[in-house]
């Protein structure tokens, strides 16, 4: 197996790991994994040598793209949940402030 094939396999494994981290809302871990993965991606596609099995490499790239889409969707849902919680917190603070103002 060519070195590029090994690198691409590592990228795929890291992407799967990122999806698991995203599913667990372990965003700091996912960010660290992404930094490592980005370095490998740059190395993978530096243009210096070809992949051993082009079709296998293309399939892995497609899976990486699919997993990235999943990770982004999980991130969007998490962001929306946090936004909802922050809005509720803000409403609670406003209610408490109004109560304190009128209870005196």
Predicted pLDDT at 42: 94
CA 74/CA 68 separation, integer angstroms: 10
CA 82/CA 86 separation, integer angstroms: 6
**Closest C-alpha to 50, from 8, 82, 92:** 8
Would you identify the CATH topology of the domain 3-102?
Methane Monooxygenase Hydroxylase; Chain G, domain 1 (1.20.58)
What is the residue-level pLDDT of the chain in tens, covering all 104 positions? 568 999 999 999 999 999 999 999 999 999 999 999 999 999 998 887 888 989 999 999 999 999 999 999 999 999 998 898 888 888 888 888 877 888 76
Predicted pLDDT at 94: 84
Answer yes or no: pTM beyond 0.75.
yes
Q: What is the DSSP letter of 48?
A: S
């Amino acid at each position: 197996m060519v070195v590029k094939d090994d690198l691409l396999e590592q990228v795929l494994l890291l992407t799967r790991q990122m999806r698991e981290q995203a599913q667990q809302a372990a965003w700091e871990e996912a960010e660290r994994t992404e930094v490592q993965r980005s370095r490998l991606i740059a190395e993978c596609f530096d243009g210096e040598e070809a992949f051993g099995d082009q079709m296998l490499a293309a399939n892995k790239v497609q899976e990486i793209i699919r997993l990235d889409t999943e990770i982004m969707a999980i991130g969007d849902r998490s962001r929306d949940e946090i936004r909802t919680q922050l809005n509720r917190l803000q409403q609670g603070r406003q209610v408490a402030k109004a109560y304190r103002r009128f209870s005196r």
